[in-house]
């Protein structure tokens, strides 16, 4: 859903303020009914007319956004049981969907797109797209624990793929490790850590393939730059 005045502005009919004036003047109708200030529409289904003339269908643009998902948000666009979903954080005229998953208690980089081919390429198990996570754990991590995590843990009857571990920092009460995985089972890192006796205090995804979260503020989105898009496509071509 998108605010009507924003939609009109993006269609090039007027500025947002100008679009509001057009709505006040009764020049805009939605599905045959006079529009009102503050209305939101679904561009994919709403019939918008200006002065009685229907706007031509808008060709869907392929859009990919980077979202810094906060903790507490469910990675879905619709969930009647969830009070907060990532849909609440995205304001885009196109209908976007999350690429892969990031559980409610985790945070960090999440891609949102309407490009089905791209989403499939990034999530298909055969591609083994690497993802990097910064994980804060309670207490110390022994060498035996690290070896088990790196070589694989039995989950749901199959062993996880080998992964890379890098120590970021270590204190008496907590250890921060960087995990680099090439698979994405449900709550995989949390379940692996639990299996070796470790408690996850915080889990943040910082990278997917060549794309890095960087300094994007929590809860904010941005479109991929031309350079990032180029790098991503070249990366996937090599997979």
The β-bridge relationship of strands 174-181 and 200-208 is: unpaired
Q: At 130, list the tokens.
A: 């690497």
The model's pLDDT over 166-220, given as tens digits with 9 standing for 90+, comes to 999 999 999 999 999 999 899 999 999 999 999 999 999 999 999 999 999 999 9
pLDDT of 58 higher than 70? no
Alpha-carbon torsion (146, 151, 155, 157), positive or negative: negative
Query: Which residues make Cβ contacts (< 8 Å) with residue 52, sequence separation at least 6?
Result: 29
Query: Which residues make Cβ contacts (< 8 Å) with residue 123, sequence separation at least 6?
Result: 99, 100, 129, 184
Catalytic residue list contains 103: yes
Is 196 strand, coil or helix? coil
Is 10 strand, coil or helix? helix
Catalytic residue among 51, 103, 105, 115: 103
Cα-Cα-Cα-Cα torsion 48, 50, 52, 58, nearest 10 degrees, comes to -40
Tell me the pTM. 0.75
Alpha carbon distances (Å) from 137 to 141, 158, 190: 8, 24, 10
pLDDT of 46 higher than 90? no
The model's pLDDT over 103-156, given as tens digits with 9 standing for 90+, comes to 999 999 999 998 888 888 899 888 899 999 999 999 999 999 999 999 999 999
Question: How high is the pLDDT of residue 74?
Answer: 92
Q: At 223, list the tokens.
A: 């479109």
The model's pLDDT over 84-97, given as tens digits with 9 standing for 90+, comes to 999 899 987 777 88
């Amino acid at each position: 859903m998108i605010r009507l005045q924003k939609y009109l502005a993006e269609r090039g009919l007027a500025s947002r303020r100008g679009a509001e004036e057009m709505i006040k003047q009764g020049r805009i109708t939605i599905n045959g009914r006079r529009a009102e200030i503050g209305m939101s529409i679904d561009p994919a289904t709403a019939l918008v007319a200006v002065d009685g003339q229907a706007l031509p269908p808008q060709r869907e643009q392929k859009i990919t956004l980077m979202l810094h998902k906060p903790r507490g948000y469910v990675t879905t666009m619709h969930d009647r049981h969830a009070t907060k979903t990532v849909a609440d954080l995205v304001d885009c005229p196109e209908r976007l969907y999350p690429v892969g998953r990031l559980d409610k208690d985790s945070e960090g980089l999440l891609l949102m797109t309407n490009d089905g081919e791209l989403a499939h390429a990034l999530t298909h198990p055969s591609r083994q797209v690497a993802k990097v996570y910064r994980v804060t754990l309670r207490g110390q991590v022994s060498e035996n624990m690290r070896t088990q995590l790196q070589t694989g843990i039995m989950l749901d009857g199959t062993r996880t793929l080998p992964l890379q571990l890098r120590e970021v920092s270590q204190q008496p009460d907590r250890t921060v490790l960087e995990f680099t995985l090439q698979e994405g089972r449900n709550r995989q890192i949390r379940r692996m850590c639990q299996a070796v006796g470790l408690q996850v205090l915080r889990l943040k995804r910082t990278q997917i393939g060549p794309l890095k979260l960087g300094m994007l503020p929590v809860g904010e989105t941005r479109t991929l730059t031309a350079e990032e898009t180029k790098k991503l496509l070249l990366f996937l071509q090599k997979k």
